Chains A and B, each alone.
Chain A
Amino acid sequence: MALLSEGQMIPSAPPPPRLKRFAVHAAFSYAKEDADYVRRVGDALPKGIKVHDYKTRDGILKVVGLDLKKTLKHIYQYEAMFVFAFISKAYAESEYAQIEWEAAKRAAKHKRGYLIPVRLEETDMVISQTWLDGTLPAAQVADLIEGAIRRPPPAEWWFYLSTQVKVAAAAALLTLVLSAYPIYLWLWPSRTWLKSADANVDGIIAHVVNDGPKSATIVGKRLKFGSLPIEDSELRLDKSESPTIAHGERDVKLITMALATKCGADGFLVNKRKVEPLLGQQPITLEIDIRESDDTPGKSRRRIVTFPAARLKPLVRRLVLGYETLCP
């Protein structure tokens, strides 16, 4: 940008738009020792740009009678579109200036380009932002400040929404979701699957998940033993269980009163003492027939899950016969 010489007239332009959320375009943060320079910068700004300056009438009215520290924090964190901090040794040592600086820094974490230092002289303050040169003539600095105010907002769009607008949008979204839910329930069917299966001494535990909003129904269940010498077995629901699977997930306990075995090479039915050593990592298949909410009557879908045969040991010990029995 070409530097303007002091005293040169700045061409008049319409005032920059100010979002309703913010009370002022810019808040000046400075030490009282630098007030003269800051006043000249303020005076050089176009009339349409609204500035918070604690020495002006409006600035004084903003804080009078209030807790100064809290009010300063609020002004420099929330009320301005930009904060221009005039950095000098006096600024670094001023308690109130530092309150303003810290407040502006907090806001700048979420709003890129919010805090713009104007360095009047070198200090020990750590400044991570690119600063304006405060040794330039006041009119030139004012021109740069105006330019910064007019440039497109660097922060995310939502940052510029007022809290009221955000609350209203959230309420509208919630209303939409709540009104859409009954439609979702009406339109979408149940969708059920088996997540896992396990076994204990009492029976088989199937972990069933229904992702749909409607209920599904268990209509068939069986255990298949693959290469093991145990006959495939129909299972039944435990007395405490319902065949209805509502939306969500739950454990379903399946039981059987006996496990029949196959005929062994010796002419006797394989008994538990012969079966138990065979139970290793080979897969046992649990099949559950489920009627989804959109299935026609009499139709169902088979869901399958496998688990290692070793988990069946307690059940086999209880349900496979122990007595030597001739094959039928």
Chain B
Amino acid sequence: MRLFVLKTFVCVLLAASAVQGQITTADVRVRVTSPGCDKLKDVYLIVNGDELHPVKLDQDGTCRWKTDLGDDTILTSTASFSLRADLKRSGCKKAEAIETKNQADLVFSCCDGPFRNVNVKIEPPMLASYDRYVRSFAADRNPVGCREFAMFEKGQGAINSAKFDDEDVYLHLGPFNPKRQPVGLFLNKVVVDDRTLVLTRDGVVYRMTVQRAKGQSRSAPGLSSNAISVDIKTLGDLKFERAEFQVIK
């Protein structure tokens, strides 16, 4: 009987501690727990998937960093974070709200590879963007899936620290669209290690067709001739000629 009461008490305590309120804060604290964390340099935080504006973290002790986001406050219940350190990346996760200090607390296990940097160059130069649908990294505590993105204003840039085993990367011609899931070129199946791949307009149309057939366009599999026509017309309208992808391991 006494044991039952004790168990109930412990369960109630655990349940109470698990319930966390959300806070709005600019004060973000980061801790990395994996071995070798003390050797990490140039640690950046990707907030809400915005890879165009990585937040440089300030060292705050061994394996600890912090940043003040200023007026760009985050809401702990909706914000997602991932870490970039050197050429590595972490999975995405939500911060724990420390209400008493009004801090967002993040603990990462960073970072098991392999990771690749993908250099992209589009001819002629045009606005392009990419989406990364990152799955939960098993090694992280409280991992979440997330969507990360950035734009190449002149069709040239790098998709850094890609972990193709745990994320799907799509390239789009045109600006990033947060609402739609546009049909983009699925890069996981395109890039090849240690060499440069060049895709012409026909090559892109072919890859898109294969993608649709295999259901890799974040839509159900299908071979719609209408969709192929749209791809050809869109690429033609954009005067797209070719795209180069160079992978650096």
Given contacts A267-B179, A321-B75, A321-B79, contact A257 B24 (CB under 8 A): yes
Q: Are A318 and B178 in contact (CB under 8 A)?
A: no
A318 near B50 with CB under 8 A, answer no
Contact A325 B179 (CB under 8 A): no
Q: Which chain B residue has the least Cβ–Cβ distance from A317?
A: B71
Find the A residue at minimum CB distance from B75.
A321
> CB distance B23 to A258 under 8 Å?
yes
A322 and B73: CB pair below 8 A?
yes
- B97 — nearest CB in chain A belongs to which residue? A257
Q: Find out whether the CB atom of B24 lies under 8 angstroms from the CB atom of A259.
A: yes
Instruction: Please determine whether B21 and A325 come into contact, CB atoms closer than 8 angstroms.
Output: no
CB-defined contacts of B158 to chain A, threshold 8 Å = none
Interface size range on B against A: 20 to 34
B71 contacts which chain A residues (CB < 8 A)?
Answer: 322
Q: Answer yes or no: B76 CB below 8 A from chain A CBs.
A: yes
In chain A, positions 169-222 with a C-beta closer than 8 Å to chain B are none
Q: Could you tell me the distance between the alpha carbons of A320 and B71 in the complex, rounded to whole angstroms?
A: 10
Chain A stretch 297-328: residues in CB contact (< 8 A) with chain B = 318-328
CB within 8 A of A321: which of B49, B50, B74, B97? B74
- Name B148's closest neighbour in chain A (CB-CB): A326
The answer on a CB contact under 8 Å between B79 and A322 is no
A268 contacts the other chain (Cβ, under 8 Å)? yes
- A257 to B23 Cα, complex, angstroms: 5
Is A269 close to B, CB under 8 A? yes
What 1/0 mask marks residues of chain B from 30 to 58 whose CB sits below 8 Å from any chain A CB?
00000000000000000111100000000
Q: Are A326 and B147 in contact (CB under 8 A)?
A: yes
Chain B residues contacting A257 (CB-CB under 8 Å) are 21-24, 97, 99, 102
Q: Is the pair B77, A260 in contact by a Cβ cutoff of 8 Å? A: yes
Q: Residue-by-residue, is B204-241 near A (CB-CB < 8 Å gives 1, otherwise 0)? A: 00000000000000000000000000000000000000
Collect the chain B residues with CB atoms within 8 Å of residue A325's CB.
48, 74-75, 78-79
The 8 listed contacts between A and B (C-beta, < 8 Å) are: A257-B23, A266-B178, A267-B178, A321-B79, A322-B26, A323-B69, A325-B78, A328-B78
The 4 closest A-B pairs by CB, nearest first: A267-B178, A267-B179, A257-B23, A258-B24
Q: Knowing that A257-B23, A258-B76 touch, tell me 9 more A-B residue pairs with CB under 8 angstroms.
A: A267-B177, A267-B178, A268-B178, A321-B73, A321-B79, A322-B26, A322-B71, A323-B74, A324-B48
